[in-house]
């Protein structure tokens, strides 16, 4: 059994790290393929050191480029490695160009693809990440999804529930595993010599930082928030466009704003834990904030992490100066709201996601399901129909009694549910698929 991990950027290194540890702990053979999309020490190497990961076995060294060129170079490099290493499964994580290139190259080689954090959808196709997630999911064989709602996104795209594993998000494993270590080793708070209440900020999404008007609106809001110390570890993309649009000095010279270089993961966990509030457009930080019980404002108009908003820990404020300023003042001035945001339940699991993923992979491997083959049954067409269930029967029992039927989605008073094996079907409507014709 051999697993190939594909990583390319800061969040992939962080979120794959607990899974790499788990695979390593179980003595499974694995290789790390770094695409080199992030290459600065503070965007890549620093995380290998903090998370005590082995050096990548391969680095494609793609660097920065247009999306198509980057994806093409990565695919070529990844293909060469996969052909020579022949892994049983290739794991990709999240929604970066590395995920797109890795999933596509693997699927073309008929290699099994496991997508960690599959199924997220913002339903905004102007985001490069949305395209990456959707294309990767077309190539994926094992979908490791963080929540039931995410699983349902995939069911509505026709993905078979048998291939979906609701595991939580490895971001929780990473937080739990590293927070204790970080509290012993990080001295970021004393290093920064901060005074008063802290608001931590990250900002790097293309749709915010490459758009001068949006960037200007966000900065205007930050300049208004003078009663908090804003710590801003700035992503290199953002530094570049701030300089390009002539906005860098304004931020750098604001007395209540500390713009610094990106910091290591252990330091960032400590900075977040000591913050009153997070403002971000990061995907991972929306998840970390709710894990660490820090209220979060998200500088986006939509999110593929709607669970955080539903749970009450995250508010979407777009790049709207008024909305940002108003919500910061509201949260900081209303103790009850602040408390409720802090106490929002974490939808992303209990920190055992990596164990669940490795269990599922081993199970599939032992059942021969990682061998991707063309179907050999002489089948007819796949038909689908809705059944109203009156019997007291579970999903597993129904499928055992009706081997030709696969339950795709269950509806309870119109609400979609994932067909967990022990779910009772009494009084519900189910969408089933079955083969007709053939022999």
Nearest-angstrom CA–CA distance, 406 and 408: 6
- Binding residues among 200-259 for ligand UD1 as defined by CB under 6 A: 204, 235-237, 240
Nearest-angstrom CA–CA distance, 198 and 257: 10
E runs forming strands in 292-405? 296-298, 314-316, 379-388
How far, in whole angstroms, is CA 275 from its chain's centroid?
Answer: 22
Minimum distance, C-beta of residue 125 to ligand UD1, in the bound complex (Å): 13
Q: Are 297 and 279 in contact (CB under 8 A)?
A: yes
Q: Which does 220 bind (CB under 5 to 8 A by kind): ligand UDP, ligand UD1, none?
A: none
Minimum distance, C-beta of residue 133 to ligand UDP, in the bound complex (Å): 11
Which position among 36, 119, 283, 306 is part of the footprint of ligand UDP (CB under 6 A)?
283
In this structure, what is the dihedral angle of CA atoms 155, 301, 98, 240, given to the nearest 10 degrees? 180
Which position among 46, 71, 93, 96 is part of the footprint of ligand UD1 (CB under 6 A)?
96
Numbers of helices and strands, H then E, in the chain: 19, 17
* Per-residue DSSP letter, 312: T
Minimum distance, C-beta of residue 235 to ligand UDP, in the bound complex (Å): 6
Q: Does 78 bind ligand UD1 (CB under 6 A)?
A: no
Residue number, 236 or 416, with CB nearest to ligand UD1: 236
Select which of 34, 38, 115, 204 is catalytic: 204
Residue number, 19 or 239, with CB nearest to ligand UD1: 239
Nearest-angstrom CA–CA distance, 172 and 111: 28
Residue number, 175 or 228, with CB nearest to ligand UD1: 175
The residue to which tokens 């890549």 are assigned: 44
Q: Does 130 bind ligand UDP (CB under 6 A)?
A: no
Site string for ligand UDP, 208-247 (x = CB under 6 A): -------------------------x--------------
Nearest-angstrom CA–CA distance, 47 and 43: 7
Structure tokens at 365: 């491997």
Residue number, 97 or 106, with CB nearest to ligand UD1: 97
Q: Does 146 bind ligand UDP (CB under 6 A)?
A: no
Site string for ligand UD1, 5-44 (x = CB under 6 A): ----xxx-------------------------xxxx--x-
Q: Are 242 and 234 in contact (CB under 8 A)?
A: yes
Number of residues binding to ligand UDP, judged by CB under 6 A: 15
Q: Does 202 bind ligand UDP (CB under 6 A)?
A: yes
Nearest-angstrom CA–CA distance, 416 and 385: 15
| Residue 235 known to be catalytic | no
Q: Which does 265 bind (CB under 5 to 8 A by kind): ligand UDP, ligand UD1, none?
A: ligand UDP
Helix (H, G, I), strand (E, B) or coil at 118: coil
CA nearest neighbour of 304 among 52, 39, 117 = 117
Which position among 8, 11, 18, 114 is part of the footprint of ligand UDP (CB under 6 A)?
11
Q: Are 299 and 280 in contact (CB under 8 A)?
A: yes
In degrees rounded to 5, what are phi and psi of residue 262?
A: -55, 140
- Binding residues among 314-353 for ligand UDP as defined by CB under 6 A: none
Q: Does 262 bind ligand UDP (CB under 6 A)?
A: yes
CB atoms within 10 A of CB 405: 16
Q: To which H or E segment does residue 3 belong?
A: strand 2-7
* Per-residue DSSP letter, 228: S
Minimum distance, C-beta of residue 103 to ligand UDP, in the bound complex (Å): 16
Q: Does 18 bind ligand UDP (CB under 6 A)?
A: no
Residue ranges that bind ligand UDP, judged by CB under 6 A = 10-11, 14, 202, 204, 233, 262-263, 265, 268, 282-285, 288
| Catalytic residue annotation | 204
Residue ranges that bind ligand UD1, judged by CB under 6 A = 9-11, 37-40, 43, 64, 95-97, 128-129, 204, 235-237, 240
């Amino acid at each position: 059994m051999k697993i190939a991990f594909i990583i390319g950027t800061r969040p992939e290194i962080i979120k794959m790290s607990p899974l790499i540890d788990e695979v390593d702990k179980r003595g499974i053979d694995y290789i790390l393929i770094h695409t080199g999309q992030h290459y600065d020490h503070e965007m890549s190497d620093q995380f290998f050191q903090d998370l005590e990961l082995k050096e990548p076995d391969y680095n494609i060294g793609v660097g920065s480029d247009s999306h198509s060129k980057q994806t093409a170079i990565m695919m070529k490099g990844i293909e060469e490695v996969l052909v020579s290493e022949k892994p049983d499964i290739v794991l990709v994580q999240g929604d970066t160009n590395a995920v797109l290139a890795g999933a596509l190259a693997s699927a073309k080689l008929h290699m099994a693809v496991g997508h960690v954090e599959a199924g997220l959808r913002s339903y905004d196709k102007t985001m490069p990440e949305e395209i990456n997630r959707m294309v990767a999911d077309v190539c994926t064989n094992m979908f490791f999804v963080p929540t039931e709602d995410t699983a349902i996104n995939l069911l509505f795209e026709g993905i078979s529930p048998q291939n979906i594993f609701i595991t939580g998000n490895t971001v929780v494993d990473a937080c739990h595993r590293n927070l204790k270590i970080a509290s012993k080793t990080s001295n970021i708070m004393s290093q920064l010599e901060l005074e008063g209440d802290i608001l931590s900020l990250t900002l790097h999404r293309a749709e915010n930082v490459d758009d001068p008007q949006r960037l200007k609106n966000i900065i205007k809001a930050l300049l208004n928030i003078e009663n908090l110390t804003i710590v801003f570890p700035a992503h290199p993309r953002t530094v570049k466009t701030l300089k390009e649009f002539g906005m860098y000095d304004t931020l750098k010279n604001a007395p209540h704003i500390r713009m610094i270089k990106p910091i290591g993961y252990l330091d960032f966990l400590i900075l977040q834990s000591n913050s009153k509030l997070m403002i971000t457009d990061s995907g991972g930080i929306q998840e970390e904030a709710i894990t660490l019980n820090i209220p979060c404002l998200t500088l986006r108009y939509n999110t593929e992490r709607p669970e955080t908003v539903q749970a009450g820990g995250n508010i979407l404020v777009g790049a709207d100066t008024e909305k940002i300023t108003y919500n910061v003042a509201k949260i900081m001035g209303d103790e009850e709201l602040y408390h409720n945001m802090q106490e929002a339940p974490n939808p992303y699991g209990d920190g055992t996601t990596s164990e669940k993923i490795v269990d599922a992979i081993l199970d599939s491997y032992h059942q021969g399901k990682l061998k991707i083959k063309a179907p050999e049954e002489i089948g007819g067409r796949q038909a689908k129909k809705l059944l109203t269930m009156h019997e007291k029967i579970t999903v597993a029992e129904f499928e055992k009694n009706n081997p030709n039927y696969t339950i795709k989605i269950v509806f309870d008073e119109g609400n979609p549910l994932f067909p967990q094996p022990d779910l009772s079907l009494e009084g519900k409507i189910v969408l089933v698929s079955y083969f007709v014709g053939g022999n």
